[in-house]
Structure 1
Amino acid sequence: MRKYDLVVIGAGPAGMTAAIYGVRANLKVLMLEKLAPGGQMINTNEIENYPGAGKVNGSELALQMFEHAQELGVEFDYKTVTKIESIEDSKRIYTEEDDEVIEALTIIVATGTRPRTLNIPGEEEFKGSAISWCAICDGAKYRDKDVVVIGGGNSAVDEGTYLATIAKSLTIITDLELTADPVSCDYLRSLPNVNVFPYKRVVEFVGKGGEFTGIKFVDKETGENEQVIECDGVFEYIGAIPYTDFLEKTTILGSGGFLEVNERMETTIPGVFGAGDCNSKHLRQVVTATADGAIAAQEASAYIKALRRKEV
């Protein structure tokens, strides 16, 4: 059984920051991740609001963070966590890949989120071909074509701005107004190839002969005024679902499956902390994720010091 002071579950900006702060607090740290390090950053073309970085590609920033963690000696392993247990002052982590049990004094859950879907007719049929959740991954194939973005939050506006530089036309359909920061929203609206349809609800992804042709939407409130827009591809940005399924049998999840934490990133299980987008919070950005990770690691260090004082 491998034993650590701190196990960080997730290697996005929150997890990597937590691991860095953990090592700098002289803790033995293991970081677990089932996918590529970086979280949602690796799907973001440009990040412009991370202090000191200027305009930076998300994948590049993710790599810099990961290399920083590696340089400091953070252990890393590709594992899919299926369950955690708290037994007295120890925590046990179980994974999908093998029967090994990992033991730790503290855990920081920084697993991030996955995109929410609409679950309407045509979505299952066309996902992965005409429907995507990653503009940086799939945007290039829509050069000089007609594209629709569904959603009006930060991700929809940021990725829509990127897509507008590639596509012939970009249509934004949202059930409210655009809700990202006003400067970004104003800029997106000002682009000559962009049209915004607020207070609408998408009801179907339309196809003909197995080929995607467009989307059907109606007024959000009345369900009337049905319209069909022909397009070549769609990007959905309608919210997120946290990667917290492995915590369902615990007491630390709140509404929507997000972690409930206090200002110290503590959950109701002593020694288990939350950080980043999987936390119940108002603002989900790289900078808030890194702040969460730093706080969680400092609190984990303090928790371990208290444990060791108790043992003396």
Structure 2
Amino acid sequence: MIQYDVAIIGAGPAGMTAAIYAARANLNVLLLDKLAPGGQIVNTFEIQNYTGLGTINGAELAIKMFEHTQELEVAFDYGTVIDIQAEGNLKKLICEEGHSYEAKAVIIATGTKPRTLGVPGEDKFTGTSISWCAICDGAQYRDKKVIVTGGGNCAVEEAIYLAGLAEEVTIVTLFNLTADPVACSKLRAMSNVRIYEFYDILEFLGEDKFDGLRAKSTVTSEEITVHADGAFEYIGLEPKAEAFRGLGILNEQGYIETDSYMATKASGIYSAGDITSKHMRQVITACSDGAIAAQTVAKYIENLH
């Protein structure tokens, strides 16, 4: 079994940046992910606030980041880590697929996953008419009607993208639009967009075929029915950290607690990106976390010798 200096779990922006900085510190690096590199940005049509790039497609940025890791000969493998076991100064990563890896240090950068509404009809249409990725599934709704749930940055940005394809886009959000003001203004100016703010979604409708949703105003108690051919949910994220619960490094919300050096309470285990307990979750802050974690790991490994 190859023994690595550092194993990085998660190949999103945080994990890939950590891999780049660790490789440049002359560490033997393993980058692991159960899916293709990129994390959440692969599903983002446009990223408009990554310094120096203006507007860039999320998948394109992911490819550029991964190519950078490969220029530095970072080892990449597919694997779903289900446990981390400490064996002296080594950490053993156990994967669902049956294989395992050893490393002196671990950086957890598994990120988050979309939160679901948990209302009637959601399970029934998940994967067919309800999606969490407009860039993946938006094309099938060309000249049709779609619903977007949520009012944050992801919801507004993806609604703008969908409005360029669909006949009509309806946003239904429990609060008001909280996204970047420029994006909100752009969305509100689109003629084929309707917005229902302060509405609680009660259920998704349809028997054999998706037919929309029913919602209730939290201000007036008015109920509305919105008919559509599909829906996209953007109501927030939750951490992908269940595999690490036994390490005692999670807070009550399930995020990993770190210090300013991205170190957890567990010796030799660090974290970076959206999986950590933090105020702002953006591509640029994930990259910053990854750089810090890698530099901290380099010093940790140096002190092991």
Partner of 1:2: 2
- Among candidates 233, 236, 243, match of residue 233 of structure 2: 236
Structure 1 residue 101 displacement after superposition: 3.3
Partner amino acid for 2:290? G
**Unpaired segments of 5 or more residues in structure 2?**
none
Aligned partners of 1:163 and 1:281: how far apart in 2? 30
Partner of 2:284: 287
SS at 1:212 equivalent: coil
Aligned partners of 1:283 and 1:181: how far apart in 2? 13
Partner of 2:295: 298
Partner of 1:78: 78
Partner of 1:205: 204
Partner of 2:49: 49
- Among candidates 268, 273, 277, match of residue 265 of structure 2: 268
Partner of 1:17: 17
Question: Which digits, 9 at most, give the CA deviation of each residue in 1:236-292, with x for residues without a partner?
Answer: 001112111111111111132111112111111121111111111121111111111
Aligned partners of 1:102 and 1:123: how far apart in 2? 38
Partner of 1:245: 242
**Percent of aligned pairs with the same amino acid:** 52
Partner amino acid for 1:288? T
Partner amino acid for 2:214? K
What RMSD, in angstroms, separates the aligned Cα atoms of the two structures?
1.2
Change (3 A) 1:142 1:101: closer
Partner amino acid for 1:304? I
Tell me if structure 2 keeps the 8 A contact 1:148–1:170. Answer: yes
Aligned partners of 1:101 and 1:125: how far apart in 2? 36
Partner of 1:214: 212
Structure 1 residue 142 displacement after superposition: 0.9
SS at 1:249 equivalent: helix
Partner amino acid for 1:218? K
Aligned partners of 1:244 and 1:221: how far apart in 2? 36
Partner of 2:58: 58
**Unpaired segments of 5 or more residues in structure 1?**
none
SS at 1:156 equivalent: helix
Aligned partners of 1:126 and 1:238: how far apart in 2? 17
Partner amino acid for 2:187? L
Structure 1 residue 68 displacement after superposition: 0.8
Give the alignment's TM-score, normalised by structure 2. 0.97
Structure 1 residue 221 displacement after superposition: 6.0
SS at 2:210 equivalent: strand
Partner amino acid for 2:188? R
Aligned partners of 1:267 and 1:217: how far apart in 2? 42
Partner of 1:35: 35
Partner of 1:109: 108
Structure 1 residue 6 displacement after superposition: 0.5
Partner amino acid for 1:125? K
Q: How does 1:156-235 map to 2 (within 5 A)?
A: 156-208=155-207, 210-220=208-218, 224-235=221-232
Structure 1 residue 125 displacement after superposition: 0.9
Partner amino acid for 2:100? V
